[in-house]
Structures are given as structure tokens and as C-alpha cells.
């Protein structure tokens, strides 16, 4: 049997880590002989240079460049390093690819993405509507397209409030000055709209899962965030088992008939004593390797779905009380690798840090 050949994107492991590097680690646990191609958008994505990283790396044009540029580059990459399984991990990629199922299928590529209509239903500016349909609580939310509209919306919602980019980033603001500063940054980085949301006070929870596309779950892992960065990113979490939280997530996935990986972000509103939906992300989170460390390998289950094995056996739940901590490590590369990724005209693949000579 020939080894699996899988492409994975989103390899940054810095302050705001992307899911791809953790996903690669999970795949190595189950499929040590798999050939993994890393698709990157920046030569300084640190997951390029880790010892257990991809076997080959190729730069890609940003998804905002459009479908033609994306697929032209993808075809070149596959000629050099063939693969037939593709796991995109970035929201902007997924927003592009869900509209291109025929182009993906015509290339013999297998990926696992939600339907484009389903993806639109979980957009941040449509959460209130989804919440009503599923019977789950959602904070008061308003999309804004300019500063004047934001000022009016903030007056209605009240300070403090959360301000979010349409793809990434969330900031807590407590004044007009802070609101304007946050919006200028978010509009510059992600464009309009930005999302203003009533601030919910209480503990934060995340649910990582894999939907079967029929309204069921292949697996679910729920954690409570124990350490949160200034930008709301989880730096630590502990596994929990709470039937009310499970049912909350199940109602959403059943209504959406979600296909593929997802992350549901939830808070426990202490004032109203209820779980509140914050957002649904259409991919695995950066902590995806944590359940794999406990023997519950979501990326491996996804690959079994993509590789023609149909619906994999349901994954067991992670026992409560296990925790993870995100910590900083250094990775080593060579200037020739950086130069190849940054300046090479034909963007040949580079060997990863696993091939670097050991220190003497």
C-alpha cells in the first residue's frame, strides 16, 4: 500500500497560531510514513522548520488573489509533489474553496468542507438567526461597515463590547477611542464588515469536532479555557464533560448538517446562567493536537473520511481533567531555505528542518 500524500496549510505557530502545524503532528502519530506537503503564505511560518513538520514546502498566493491564481499554483505544486488529500486550515481559504467544488473534484482532490450555504449560515453577522433556529442563545451582534455606523451600534450595545474582524481577531473595547482604533486595524487587515458584539461575562469554552454531513458527529472534544491571551486566544485549557454543553453543540451541528472539521466557541453567561454561542469556525482549532495526545485523533479520522473509508468509527470522548499549556520553543532553519521560499522564481520545494544536520 502506497503511503498517504496529504497537503496541509496554516503552519504558523507564533503568538496567534494556525491549526496546520498541530494537524501535521496528529497525522504523524497515526500515519508516520505519510508524505505531507505544506502550503504556506509566508516564509516565516514557524511550522515550516519544526523537526516533525511537512516533507516539502511550497508558497501559495493569498486566497484573495482569486480562484484562477490559487489553482494555477496548486496544479504546479501537485506536479512537483503529488498529493490527493487536501486539508485547508485557514478561514480565508475555506471561504474561497467552498465555491469551487467542481474544480477541486475535477483534479481528483479530496477535501472535506461544509456546503457553501451552510458556511454562510454560521457567519458572524448571521449568528442571531442561526441561534433562533437552533434554540441557542447568541449575544446581541451588529455588523458595521464604517466608523459612523459603529458609533451608533456601540451606543445601542453599550460598553464594554467585543469588536471582531470578519475572519480573525477579536478585541475588547471600553471607549469610543478604543473602538475607533480597533476598527481601523480590523478594516485594514480584514476589510468590512467588522462585528460588534455585546460583552458576555463568564468562563469560555471551546468544542472541537468533526461532522459527518448528515447532522451527526464523528467526534467531539470540549474544553474550558484556563489561560487566555490579550486577544482572546486560548493559551491553556482543560477537558470537560457537560451534557448541557454537548447538547448545545449537537443542536448546532444537527441543524447545519455540518460536514468536516469545526470549532464552536461558547461562553457561560454568568448573569443569565446559560451557554451563549460566540462563533463557529469552519476548521480545526490550533489546539487540535491536544486530543491526539490523549489518544483521540481527529485529523486521522478526517483522513479516513477523505481516503474513501466512509464514515469512521465514532471517536471516544476525552476524559475530563486533562489540560494543555501552550509554550514557546525555538526552531532552526537555514538561510538557504528562507531564500528559496522568499525569492525562488520557480518555488521549488524545500526540505524541512528534519533534514538538517545534527549539531556536533
The predicted model gives 98-112 an average pLDDT of: 94
* One domain for residues 16 and 97: yes
Q: How far apart are CA 355 and CA 360, in angstroms?
A: 15
Domain boundary among 152, 173, 198: 198
Distances (CA, A) of 90 to 93, 95, 297, 350: 5, 9, 20, 22
DSSP strand pairing (259-269 vs 274-281): antiparallel
Distances (CA, A) of 304 to 83, 176, 247, 332, 337: 15, 50, 26, 32, 32
Weakest-pLDDT range from 41-50, 70-79, 199-208, 327-336: 327-336
* One domain for residues 242 and 310: yes
Range of the domain at 279: 201-325
Q: Residue 162: give its domain's CATH number.
A: 3.30.1490.20
Q: Is pLDDT of 345 > 60?
A: no
Q: Residue 56: give its domain's CATH number.
A: 3.40.50.20
Percent of the chain scoring above 70 in pLDDT: 94
* One domain for residues 316 and 347: no
As for how many domains the chain has, the answer is: 3
- The pLDDT value recorded for residue 358 is 41
Q: How far apart are CA 3 and CA 282, in angstroms?
A: 27
For residue 36, give the H/E element and its range: strand 35-40
pTM, full prediction: 0.88
Amino acid at each position: 500500500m502506497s503511503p498517504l500524500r496529504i497537503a496541509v496549510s496554516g503552519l504558523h505557530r507564533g503568538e496567534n497560531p494556525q491549526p496546520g502545524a498541530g494537524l501535521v503532528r496528529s497525522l504523524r502519530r497515526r500515519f508516520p510514513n505519510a508524505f505531507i506537503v505544506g502550503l504556506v503564505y509566508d516564509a516565516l511560518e514557524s511550522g515550516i522548520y519544526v523537526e516533525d513538520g511537512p516533507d516539502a514546502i511550497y508558497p501559495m498566493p493569498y486566497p484573495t488573489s482569486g480562484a484562477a491564481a490559487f489553482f494555477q499554483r496548486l496544479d504546479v505544486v501537485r506536479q512537483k509533489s503529488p498529493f490527493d488529500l487536501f486539508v485547508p486550515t485557514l478561514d480565508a481559504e475555506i471561504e474561497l474553496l467552498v465555491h469551487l467544488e467542481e474544480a477541486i473534484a475535477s483534479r481528483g482532490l479530496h477535501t472535506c468542507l461544509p456546503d457553501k450555504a451552510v458556511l454562510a449560515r454560521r457567519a458572524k453577522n448571521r449568528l442571531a438567526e442561526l441561534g433562533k433556529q437552533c434554540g441557542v442563545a447568541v449575544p446581541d451582534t451588529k455588523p458595521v461597515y464604517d466608523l459612523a455606523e459603529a458609533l451608533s451600534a456601540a451606543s445601542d450595545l453599550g460598553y464594554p463590547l467585543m469588536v471582531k474582524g470578519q475572519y480573525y481577531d477579536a478585541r475588547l473595547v471600553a471607549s469610543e477611542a478604543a473602538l475607533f482604533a480597533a476598527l481601523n486595524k480590523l478594516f485594514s487587515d480584514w476589510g468590512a464588515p467588522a462585528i460588534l458584539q455585546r460583552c458576555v461575562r463568564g468562563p469560555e469554552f471551546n468544542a472541537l469536532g468533526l461532522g459527518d454531513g448528515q447532522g451527526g458527529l464523528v467526534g467531539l472534544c470540549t474544553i474550558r479555557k484556563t489561560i487566555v491571551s490579550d486577544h482572546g486566544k486560548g493559551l491553556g485549557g482543560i477537558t470537560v464533560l457537560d451534557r448541557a454543553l454537548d447538547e448545545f453543540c449537537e443542536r448546532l451541528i444537527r441543524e447545519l448538517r455540518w460536514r468536516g472539521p469545526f470549532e464552536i466557541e461558547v461562553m457561560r453567561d454568568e448573569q443569565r446562567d446559560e451557554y451563549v454561542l460566540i462563533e463557529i469556525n469552519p476548521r480545526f482549532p490550533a489546539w487540535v493536537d491536544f486530543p491526539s495526545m490523549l489518544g483521540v485523533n481527529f485529523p486521522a479520522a478526517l483522513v479516513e473520511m477523505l481516503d474513501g473509508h466512509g464514515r469512521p468509527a465514532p471517536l471516544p470522548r476525552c476524559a475530563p481533567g486533562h489540560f494543555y499549556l501552550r509554550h514557546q520553543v525555538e526552531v532552526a532553519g537555514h538561510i538557504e531555505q528562507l531564500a528559496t521560499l522568499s525569492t525562488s522564481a520557480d518555488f521549488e520545494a524545500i526540505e524541512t528542518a528534519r533534514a538538517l544536520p545534527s549539531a556536533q
